[in-house]
Amino acid sequence: MVNRTINLTVTITTTLIPHPSTTLIPFSNASFYSSFNMTNFDVDNSNSFSICNFSISNNDTSIYKVNISLTLYTYDIIEKHYGDSLYPGGHYIPKECRSEQRLAIIICYRNREQHLKMFLDNIHPFLQKQQLDYTIFVVNQNGNDQFNRALLFNVGYIEAMKLYSFDCFIFHDVDLLPEDLRNVYKCGDQPRHMYVFVFSFLHQF
């Protein structure tokens, strides 16, 4: 198994990288790190902060509406949009408060580049407005074998736990985006289906 990382996400492939002469680069124009350490973040200092309190009880519900951007940017442009606020590996930690949970978003992926670009460009501001400690994992299946969504989610979970003490996992489709900020990306006592308000761009291309 080979792990690769772009600046916005952790990308995990489930097969060996082919010979360099035949290697397909699935994330062109993205930044890669050969290694990184997610345990080096200054989490101890953040423990002195108060708990983040993203409110969903405002009477003016219009403030929770998410405007979905349909513009397709290259990965390097998306990095410029959000890279300054992210640690290597795509890890975001609120700077003025302490999140109650450490969230890993696991995405199973193969040959959906347009969807992934749109997903990344929209999901980062959504999660940051909710003041979440999060990392996005894109688990990429190489080859032409039958797409194994469940296995990719399992791989994402196992690899994520090697990097950071996540205590909340959301298994996400790459072609769905939340449309309402009141759909808070947090875990409760029981598993739940996240999507009440969604935007699907499956048929946009």
pLDDT tens digits for range 120-179:
999 999 999 999 999 999 999 998 999 999 999 999 999 999 999 999 999 999 998 998
For residue 139, tell me if it sits in a domain. Answer: yes
Residue 177: name the closest of 81, 74, 68, 104 by CA: 68
**pTM assigned to the model:** 0.78
Question: At 96, which CATH number?
Answer: 3.90.550.10
Domain range holding 126? 10-16+63-200
Exposure letters 88-112 (e unless 16+ CB within 10 A, then b): bbbbbbbeebbbbebbbbbbbbbeb
What is the count of structural domains for the chain? 1
Whether 21 is covered by a domain: the verdict is no
**In this structure, is residue 32 part of a structural domain?**
no
Rounded Cα gap, residues 158 and 153, in angstroms:
9
The whole-angstrom separation of Cα 174 and Cα 183 is 17
The pLDDT tens digits for 18-59 are: 333 444 456 666 666 655 566 555 555 566 789 999 999 999
Residue 142 phi, psi (nearest 5): -85, 165
Interval 75-98: pLDDT, tens: 999 999 988 888 888 899 998 899
Q: Is residue 109 part of a domain?
A: yes
**How far is CA 197 from its chain centroid?**
18
Look at residue 45 and tell me if it is in a domain.
no
